[in-house]
Structure 1
Amino acid sequence: MQSDTRKILEYAVSKVPQVTLGFWIIKIAATTLGETGGDWVTMSLNLGYLIGSAIFALIFVGLVSGQVKADRFRPFLYWATIVATTTLGTTMADFFDRSLGVGYPGGVAIVFALLLASLAIWYKAEGTVSVQSITTPKAEWFYWTTILFSQTLGTALGDSVAGADRGGLGLGYEYGALIFGVGLAIVAGLYIWARISHTLLFWAAFILTRPLGATLGDFLDKPIAEGGLHVSRLYASLILLVFIVASVTLIPQRPARRVEQA
C-alpha cells in the first residue's frame, strides 16, 4: 500500500516542473503574453471581455483536462496551460473592473476573494496547498484553478497600480513594473535567508509575476503618449510566443520531486 502511494505521488508530481530561475523567466514571459494576447482578442479583434473570457475559458478547460490526463510531465503542455491561465486571467480581470463597472479596487477585491476561497477549499479538501500535494486529479484541478485566480489577481493589481482611471493609482507602467520587480526580489530574499513557508512564498511570487507581466505587456502595446512602446498587440504576442517556445526548448525542463519545496 505504501509503495503504491509513493508511485502515485511520484507520477503526479512529475507533471509539475522544478521551480528554478528558468521557471520564473518563462513564467514572466507567459504572463506578458497573456496580457498582449488577451488584449488582442478582446480589444484589437473587438470581441469584448465576456466573449473573450468564454473563448479562453474553453481553451483553459481543454488544456487542464489534457494536463490531468497526461501520463508524465510534458513541458509544452504545461506551459501552454500556464499561458491559457494568463490570457483568461487578463480577460476576466478586465471584465470585472471594466464591464461590471466596479473599477480597479473592486476588481482586485473580487478576484482576491475568489483566490482566498480557492485556497481555502483546496486546503479543506486536501489538508495542504503545497505544490507537493498534487497527487490526484482533484488536487490538480485545485492547483490550476488557484493558478487561474492568482493570474487574474495579478492582472487586476497591475492595472490598479499603473492605470490612472477607474480608481487606479496612476503610477504608470514603468513604475508598476519596478514596484512588482522589487516585490519579487523581496520574496526571493525571504526564500533564501528567512525561515518562512516556501509554499507561501511560492504563491506570493506566482501572484507578483503576473502584474509584472501585465505592466510589461501594457508597456509594449500602449501608445507612446501613454508611456508605452506602441508595438502591435499581435506582433508583441508573436514575439513573446517565439521566446517562450525557444526558452522551453533550450532551458532544462525537469519534473519536480517530492523532496523539493515550492
Structure 2
Amino acid sequence: MAALAEAMKAGIWFDRSKVESAEDKYQEYLAGTQSSGGEVSQQIAEARKKIQDTLKESGSSSKSSSEDVESLKKQVKDLTGIITNMNKKFESLESRLSALEGKGSTTPSKPAEAAAQNGVEDSDEDSDSDVDLFGSDEEEEDNEEAERLKQERIDAYKAKKSKKPTLIAKSNIILDVKPWSDETDMAELEKCVRSVQTDGLLWGASKLVKIAYGVQKLQITCVVEDDKVGTDFLEEEITAHEEYVQSVDIAAFNKI
C-alpha cells in the first residue's frame, strides 16, 4: 500500500484493477497465514491435553488394577485359612468317631471271658457265704414299703380326680306346642307345659305365635341337661295333657 501511494504521488499509475486484485490476494494470504497458524497451535494444545489425560487414565487404571490384585490375594489367603481350619476340624471329628466306634465294638478278651466263665469256680468260700439265695427280710420290707407308697399315690390321684368338677353337657331347646283350636285357653296350656318338672330341666321365656284362622301356638324355651332329660321325655309329658295340647314340635335345638 505504501508503494502504491508513493507511485500515485510520483504520478505513476498502473492498471487499477490489477493492483487492487493483487492487494486483495496479499491480504488474503496474510489472513490465511494467521488463521492457519492459530489452528495449528490450537490443535497442538489439544493433542498435548489428550496425551496428558491418557497418561493420567493409564496411571489410575494401573493403580486400580494393582489394588484389585492385592484384594484377590487377600481373599485367596483368607479362604485358604478357612479351608485349613475346616480340614482340621473334620480330622478331629473323624478321630473321635473312630475312637467311639472302637469302644462300642470292643469285645472282651479271652482272659476276661475265661474269668467270667470260671467265676464261680475261682470265687472263694467267703464270697459264696455273702450271697443270700433266699432273700433277706430287709428286701421284703423294702418291697412292701414301695407297694404301700405306690398305692397311696394312686389313692391320692383318684381322690384329686373325683374332686375335679366335671363338665355337664346342656342344650337349649325351643318347642312349638299347638292347641286343638282357636278356642283353647292358651294360658292354661302354658301352665300345663310348665307343670312338667324334673331334675335337669329349666323352663325359659315363651310367646304366642299366630298360625292361621285365629289359631295360635305356644313357643317356649327350655334348658336341659343332656344326660338327664331328652326330647322324647318332653314330648310325652307335654302331650299327656290331651285336653289342651294337640302336638309338640322341636323348633330349635342348640348345644350350650
Asked if Structure 1 and Structure 2 have the same fold, meaning a TM-score greater than 0.5 normalized by the shorter chain, the answer is: no
Q: Which has the larger radius of gyration?
A: 2
Task: State the TM-score bracket (shorter-chain normalisation).
Answer: under 0.3
Whichever structure has more strand as a proportion of its residues is 2
